[in-house]
Structure 1
Amino acid sequence: MAKIDIRRPHSLSVADARSIVDRVAERMREKFGTDSQWSGDTLTFQRSGVKGAIAVVPGEVHVTAELGMLLSPLKGTIEDEIGRKLDEHFA
């Protein structure tokens, strides 16, 4: 399994950062059929071939994910897309 671990700083309140993550999670549900739920300030998500979490803490958003065998070859592309989305929303 390929692992993804990306951190991005932010200057938002935890509530505002969490709201952004919630909107992104909604798009993930619509586009990829992910299931997600909040546990404190961490959103966990999963679907066939991937499971992960997005933790929101003061000053940082931390994305972790484990890719299954079919998605592992796409790790670089997936990391790039996550990085772009984080930069777009939290830069």
Structure 2
Amino acid sequence: MAGIDIQHKHSLSLAKARKGVEDVARKLADKFDFEYGWDGDEMHFKRSGVDGRIAVKPEQLHVTAKLGFLLSALQGTVEQEIRKVLDEKFS
């Protein structure tokens, strides 16, 4: 099973970083059709073939996801889109 593991630095307060992650999740959910929700400072997201989380930490976001067989072929595209959105929102 393919996986994504991205660590992205930020300089926001935890509250602002959470809001930013919520905005990113909404944008990616529209594009990739997944459900998401919060558990503490971790946002979990899921759809058929994808199971992941975004951990909001001081000065860092940590995105991890497991991709099923079909989406593993698109790992590079999915990872690139996540990085692009994180750069737009948190750089």
TM-score strictly above 0.5: yes
**2:48 corresponding residue in structure 1:** 48
- Aligned partners of 1:29 and 1:71: how far apart in 2? 15
1:52-90 deviation per Cα after TM superposition (whole angstroms, max 9, x unaligned): 000101000110000000000111111111111111111
Query: What are the within-5 Å matches in structure 2 for residues 78-89 of structure 1?
Result: 78-89=78-89
- Aligned partners of 1:10 and 1:32: how far apart in 2? 24
Aligned length: 91
Aligned partner letter, 1:62: H
Segments ≥4 residues shifted beyond 4 Å? none
> Identity percentage over the alignment?
54
Query: What are the within-5 Å matches in structure 2 for residues 1-91 of structure 1?
Result: 1-91=1-91
Deviation at 1:47, TM superposition (A): 0.4
Tell me if the contact between 2:24 and 2:86 (Cα under 8 Å) persists in the aligned partners.
Answer: no
- Aligned partners of 2:27 and 2:76: how far apart in 1? 21
What TM-score comes out, normalization by structure 1 length? 0.93
Q: Pick closer, same or farther for the CA change 1:80–1:33 going to 2, 3 Å.
A: closer
- Aligned partners of 1:89 and 1:28: how far apart in 2? 12
What TM-score comes out, normalization by structure 2 length? 0.93
**3-state SS, counterpart of residue 73 of structure 2:** helix
| RMSD of equivalent CA atoms | 1.1
Structure 1 residue runs without a partner (length 5+): none
Tell me if the contact between 2:54 and 2:64 (Cα under 8 Å) persists in the aligned partners.
Answer: yes
